[in-house]
Amino acid sequence: MAAPVRRTLLGLAGGWRRFESLWAGSLGSRSLSLAAAPSSSGSPWRLLGALCLQRPPRVSKPLTPLQKEMAALLQQIEIEKSLYSDHELRALDESQRLARKKTDLYDEEDDQNILLVQDLEDMWEQTFLQFKPGSRVTADNKNDRTSLHRKLDRNLVLLVREQLGDEYVWMLPQAEWQPGETLRGTAQRAMATLSENNMEAKFLGNAPCGHYKFKFPQAMRTESNLGAKVFFFKALLLTGDFSQAGKKGQHVWVSKEELGDYLKPKYLAQVRKFLLDL
C-alpha cells in the first residue's frame, strides 16, 4: 500500500501541531464554501500553490575592504601599462611651456590656447559637483518594512499575514489548487487576487522551486484530508507595487535574514533552501 510509505516520508512534518491545527481549522471552514475537490488520483493531500515574489536589487552591493584594495590595485596596474592619452599629452606640453616661460622670459606668441588643461579640469569638477545622484541608502527607512524602497541592494521577498482560525500567521501568499489549472496557474491567481492586477511579475518556469507539507492534527484528519502540500513558485517583480490601502500591516517586503522574524521554524527551513542569499 502506498499509505505506509507516505507516512515514513512525511514523518518530517509531523511535529508541528499548532500551525497545523490552525491550518486545518481554516481549511475546514473554507472547504464547505469552496467545495474544492481533492486531487484527482484520490490521494489524501490537499494541494496549494504559493508565490515567492522577489524584488530584485536596484543598486549594487558595497565593496568589502579586500575588494576595494583589489580594485585600486587593478586601476594602478592599468594606468602603468597604458599609453599617454591626448589630454595627458596636452597637460605635459603645457607644463613644459610654462616652465620654459618662467626660465627664459621671452615672449612667445600670445595667441596660444588661453584654455589651459587645469581650467578644463576645474570646469569638469564643477559640473560633477552640481549633479546629485540618487542616494544608495534610503535614509527614510524608519523600519518601514512594507515599502519597496528599502534595502536596495538585496532581494526582497513578499510575506503576507493571513488569519487561520483564531491566529494571524505570516506566510508566502498562496491559494488552493482548483482542478483544471496547473499549479503555476494557482500561483498566478494568488498574485492577481493579492495585488488586484497592479503588479507585473515574470514567472521563472513551470516547475516549483520548493515545497512544504504538513499533516493536520488528529481531530481534523478524515479519509480524504490527511494534510496539505504547498508548492512554491518563483517570480521576479518587474513593475508595480502592492497597493492595498485598506489593509495595513498585512504585507511585508523582507530580505532573507529577516525571514526568521516572521516565519515559523519548519516553514522557514524549507523556504530558506530555495532563496539565494546575496
Partner 1 sequence: MRAEPLRKKKKVDPKKDQAAKDRLKKRIRKLEKASQELIPIEDFITPVKFLDKTRQRPQVELSFEERERRALLLKRWSLYKQREHEIERDAIGVMLDAQQEALEELRLESPELHTEAIKRDPSLFPFEREGPDYTPPISNYQPPEGRYNDITKIYTQVQFKR
Radius of gyration of the chain (CA): 31
CA distance 16 to 264: 10
Among 21-29, 52-60, 101-109, 115-123, the segment contacting partner 1 (CB under 8 A): 52-60
The answer to whether residue 135 forms part of the interface with partner 1 (CB under 8 A) is yes
We find the least distance from the C-beta atom of residue 88 to partner 1, in angstroms, to be 9
We find the least distance from the C-beta atom of residue 257 to partner 1, in angstroms, to be 15
Give per-residue burial for 71-103: e unless 16+ CB within 10 Å, then b: eeeeeeeeeeeeeeeeeeeebeeeeeeeeeeee
> Are the CB atoms for 47 and 177 separated by under 8 Å?
yes
Of the residues 146, 203, 244, 268, which one makes contact with partner 1 according to CB under 8 A = 203
The interface mask with partner 1, positions 204-243, x = CB under 8 A, is: xxxxxxxx-x---------------x-xx---x-x-----
User: What length does the chain have?
Assistant: 278
- Residue 211 vs 264, nearer CB to partner 1: 211
* Residue 48 CB coordination number (10 Å): 23
We find the least distance from the C-beta atom of residue 181 to partner 1, in angstroms, to be 10
The answer to whether residue 277 forms part of the interface with partner 1 (CB under 8 A) is yes
C-alpha grid cell, residue 220:
481534523
The interface mask with partner 1, positions 90-109, x = CB under 8 A, is: --------------------
Q: What is the DSSP string of 190-252?
A: HHHHHHTS--EEEE--SS-SEEEEEEPPTTT--SS-SEEEEEEEEEEEEE-----SS--SSEE
Which residues, at least 6 apart from 47, have a Cβ–Cβ distance to it below 8 Å? 39, 176, 177, 183, 186, 228, 229, 231
Q: Interface residues for partner 1 in 240-259 (CB under 8 A)?
A: none
The answer to whether residue 80 forms part of the interface with partner 1 (CB under 8 A) is yes
> Are the CB atoms for 138 and 150 separated by under 8 Å?
yes
> Are the CB atoms for 201 and 52 separated by under 8 Å?
no
Of the residues 47, 48, 201, 259, which one makes contact with partner 1 according to CB under 8 A = 47
Of the residues 11, 14, 15, 56, which one makes contact with partner 1 according to CB under 8 A = 56
Among 68-76, 108-116, 165-173, 187-195, the segment contacting partner 1 (CB under 8 A): 68-76
Which residues, at least 6 apart from 262, have a Cβ–Cβ distance to it below 8 Å? 159, 170, 252, 254
Of the residues 29, 37, 69, 96, which one makes contact with partner 1 according to CB under 8 A = 69
Among 97-105, 108-116, 126-134, 140-148, the segment contacting partner 1 (CB under 8 A): 126-134
- Residue 81 vs 248, nearer CB to partner 1: 81
The answer to whether residue 129 forms part of the interface with partner 1 (CB under 8 A) is no
Residues in the site for partner 1, rule: CB under 8 A?
6, 39-41, 43, 45, 47, 56-60, 66, 69-70, 73, 80, 82-84, 89, 132-136, 152-153, 182-184, 202-211, 213, 229, 231-232, 236, 238, 270, 273-274, 276-277
